[in-house]
Amino acid sequence: MKGLNEITIARVASSILSLLGVEKGEGMAEAIEELLALGRCDRVVMYNPDAVAEWIYEAHRDMFSPLLEEIDLNLEMKSMVPPVTPVCFASMYTGLLPSIHGIEKYEKPVLKVKTAFDILRENGRKVAIVSTEGDSISKIFLERDLDYFIYRTKEECNRKALELIDEDRYDLLVLYNGDYDWAMHRFSPEGKRSLRALGENVETYMELKKAIEERWKGHRTALAFAPDHGCHRAYGILGSHGKEIPMDMNIRHFWSIIGERDA
């Protein structure tokens, strides 16, 4: 049986900063070399679908075929302990371990430590977060000099993200979708409704990529498909996560670089 992947999601924060030419904050985990090798960008779009496990990707790779044809990097990633949403996204965007950023269980307090968002704002960059209301990303990063777009449904969030791409005002755009996580908890990771949500997550990534290609011709953009943690079957028909096991800890992050590198 495969063990745990090596690259932790805590390395995403400094990777975003490095892609945008900004120095990482004190104590942040190092950037991901394979990603930086693709070259600097002036825009980053982070698409965060919840709970998409590596084993789900392996078992249903055909659903990812459109995405796999378009990406430049396919990274084996490791979640945080415990692999629950607020812990994981806190580490993804602070670059810190849970014991340092302060969220060590399923709770959603506003983070008091510095995030990649704060560092970007200090360097004059514009940041927007688009999320469904009540979810971790809509709560733990509040009280910052960012633009927040919080909606009731995933569909509203996705429409807004496309509008923001059209407006071309942000250096970093974060979009969260929690529909796969919601479905897998109720109908199992491979239930029909869960797989339908998974397919929609892949479609959303492709829609974002198409919009960036059409609207941001003057930019070089890094677009990520970056889940927070995985999931496992529980009680036969349900899904769960939160254990330090490969099914919950191992995920994949996919990256597309859109636009030409400067000569």
Our CA angle for 195, 133, 115, nearest 5°, is 95
Given a cut of 80, whether residue 50 has pLDDT beyond it is yes
36 φ, ψ (degrees, to nearest 5):
-65, -25
82 cis-preceded (ω within 30 degrees of 0): yes
Statement: residue 241 has pLDDT above 80: yes
- How far apart are alpha carbons 98 and 57 in whole angstroms? 26
DSSP for 67-109, please give it. HHTT-SEEEEEE--SS--HHHHHHHHHH---HHHHS--SS--P
pLDDT tens, position by position, 170-225: 999 999 999 999 999 999 999 999 999 999 999 999 999 999 999 999 999 999 99
Report, as an integer, the average pLDDT of 22-32: 97
Instruction: State the pLDDT at residue 263.
Output: 40
Q: Residue 261 — very low, low, confident or very high, per pLDDT cuts 50/70/90?
A: low
